[in-house]
Structure 1
Amino acid sequence: MLTAIEKKAIDHEIELVPYKKASVIEALKIVQQHRGWISDESIEAIADYLEISPAEVDSVATFYNLIFRKPVGRHIILLCDSISCYVMGYRLLHKALEEKLHIRMGQTSEDNRFTLLPNVCLGCCDHAPALMIDKDLYRDVEPALLDDILKKYT
């Protein structure tokens, strides 16, 4: 079931589009912002509210890599694995992150602090390698910088 706050935010998005179902992406983002991820129950609640099928909502949710269909940590680390980042040190950065966080790509740290995910491109090929934590972009990242970067996120 959607909360009153979620419904109000979704109603605002519905007003901006010609068809109710055109707000499905925004509805997913709103619910995820409040709950941290999109459960099967959230899919059904959104579908019911937008008067579309759960399959339609799920197809959108599973298409976008920043809609999370399982629980994630408090902070999402997106590690760019584009060719530029790969050539400029991705492998070392990837290995260092996994060692520091004691997780593998796609996993969440035991303390639920971080989830490490690949990202196809963060758009800063001229400053590779790059990673993003939540909405903060880090460019020219070297493994030696990781401790200072990670300690910002509690």
Structure 2
Amino acid sequence: MDQRAHNTIEQTSSHGELLSHDDVLGSTLSQAERITSGLLDKVEEAITHYPVSKRSAALPLLHLWQNHFGFIDESGVEWIAAKLDLNSISILELITFYPWFRQKAPGKTIIRVCRTLSCALAGSYEIHEKFCKSTGIDPTCEGHHGIPTSPDAKFSVEFVECLASCGSAPVCLVNKDLVERVSLQDVEDIIKKNS
């Protein structure tokens, strides 16, 4: 492990496991300076599954990082690259290729609207548009490197592929909660509940 990464871990290991949205947006420290011992343990464990080439651990580490911080900043790219003995560009290529990875912080409440056939036929495009308009997000904005986020950073809204609840379409995920048979009225209720 490079010395800089080791020092960073020692300085921040007393922080809690999961950072709040306010911690992510309000901190002046980079993500690499806020690594917790819990995250480091998960990183070390993930790497053990790839004994032939640590490079193969890049995607699992990116998922761990994003699940922990909400997005992957430049310090995260550099830290993961150093951890895997890679150039930063090798990690950045993965982040920019896969649309799931974000380089900017999402809103406090993330709303994912299913757009596959059952949900689309049941009105998911109208649901998505209403979520966007009700939160001040341009409904035509689909960011590859960041999720469309409201000006007040309270909400992010994005389309996703199948959420495996086709029989109760349209569906959406509000953070980690599946909401089925979403109506246009439900949109307002969901926004009020999460404001």
Instruction: Report SS of the residue matched to 1:8.
Output: helix
1:141 corresponding residue in structure 2: 182
Aligned ranges 1:2-151 → 2 under 5 Å: 2=32, 3-5=35-37, 6-18=39-51, 19-105=53-139, 106=142, 107-151=148-192
- Name the CA distance, whole Å, in 1 between partners of 2:101 and 2:61: 11
Whether the aligned pair in 1 keeps the contact of 2:127 and 2:184 (CA below 8 Å) is yes
Alpha-carbon shift at residue 88 of structure 1 (Å)? 0.9
Whether the aligned pair in 2 keeps the contact of 1:77 and 1:131 (CA below 8 Å) is yes
Aligned residues: 154
* Unaligned residue ranges in structure 2 (runs of 5+): 6-31, 143-147
Instruction: Report SS of the residue matched to 2:50.
Output: coil
Instruction: Report SS of the residue matched to 1:129.
Output: coil
Off by >6 Å, runs of 4+ in structure 1: none
C-alpha RMSD of matched pairs (Å)? 2.0
TM superposition score normalised by structure 2: 0.69
- Name the CA distance, whole Å, in 2 between partners of 1:9 and 1:88: 40
Whether the aligned pair in 2 keeps the contact of 1:104 and 1:116 (CA below 8 Å) is no
Whether the aligned pair in 2 keeps the contact of 1:17 and 1:23 (CA below 8 Å) is yes
**Identity rate of aligned residues, in percent?**
27
Distance change in 2, residues 1:49/1:89 (3 Å) = same
Larger Rg: 2
Instruction: Report SS of the residue matched to 2:63.
Output: helix
